[in-house]
Structure 1
């Protein structure tokens, strides 16, 4: 958490050490702002037809590197539209279809994208994502926009 932003307070408990490299923190206390809930974001176009039209997903990269890059660009759009910055994220729920193969790549990209900010997080592996069977990652976010 940025020390200049007093709205968000990282909470640690017994056992914490700054030497441990983590992509999440146990808790964040919010001291003001407006809560923003961002739906699950993937590498697919954020706006697509329902029922799904397979042609709308033809340009989605097949590998995790391309998918995670596109996913975080889509997340930037949602954050900006909501008046938030990356550092305003307090929670990330990550849904992997191939967690063993993809988690390290996603963690590295996420760490660089967040620039040192570390939100709370949960990661789970699922059989598939609802949007398209070729998608490997979906992330839902809760952020706190400044007043």
Structure 2
């Protein structure tokens, strides 16, 4: 354990660890990330396993092809994040904040943590996990992910 803050630069941000940091502890989040001033902040709307573009009001039949399990929905949600990041000129390592909304944390969190770790490939953003009664898009959805990224300057 270190009592000295550790700062590691990654892309357009600095990962900050504070007193009590132990690199041997496996964690899906870091306590703080500071964005450097030249970065362009990218805010990505919550993504799910549902098609990103869909009608409002929602039509239930649009969501009939969504897999029922949380892991499959997570894989699709992370694919949707890739699309949004690329379109915004950002990469996975540029993600500085991740908010995950689960409808059942106990059933899905471990699988989503594994998929998330694979997707990030060693990068770890700040993160918050919340359990909600249901997601707004469709009651069959189990996970929604909201992201903020720090893209390189244009």
- Shorter chain as denominator, the TM-score bin is over 0.9
Whether 1:13 and 2:18 are equivalent positions in the alignment is: yes
CA distance in 2, matches of 1:129, 1:135: 7
* CA displacement at 1:35 relative to structure 2: 0.2
Give the alignment partner of residue 22 of structure 1, picking from 21, 27, 35: 27
Q: TM-score, normalised by structure 1?
A: 0.96
**Among candidates 137, 143, 148, match of residue 137 of structure 1:** 143
Gaps of 5+ in 2: 1-7
SS at match of 2:56: coil
User: Equivalent of 1:111, from 107, 117, 122?
Assistant: 117
Moved over 3 A (4+): 3-6
Cα RMSD for the two superposed structures: 1.1
Asked if 1:68 is matched to 2:60, the reply is no
1:52-109 CA-to-partner distances (Å, cap 9, x unmatched) read 0111101100011210111111111011111110000000000000001110000000
Q: RCO greater where, 1 or 2, for CA within 8 Å and sep 6 or more?
A: 1
Which 5+ residue runs of structure 1 have no aligned equivalent? none
**Aligned residue pair count:** 145
Whether the 8 Å CA contact 2:98–2:125 is kept in 1: the answer is: yes
Give the TM-score taking structure 2 as reference length: 0.91
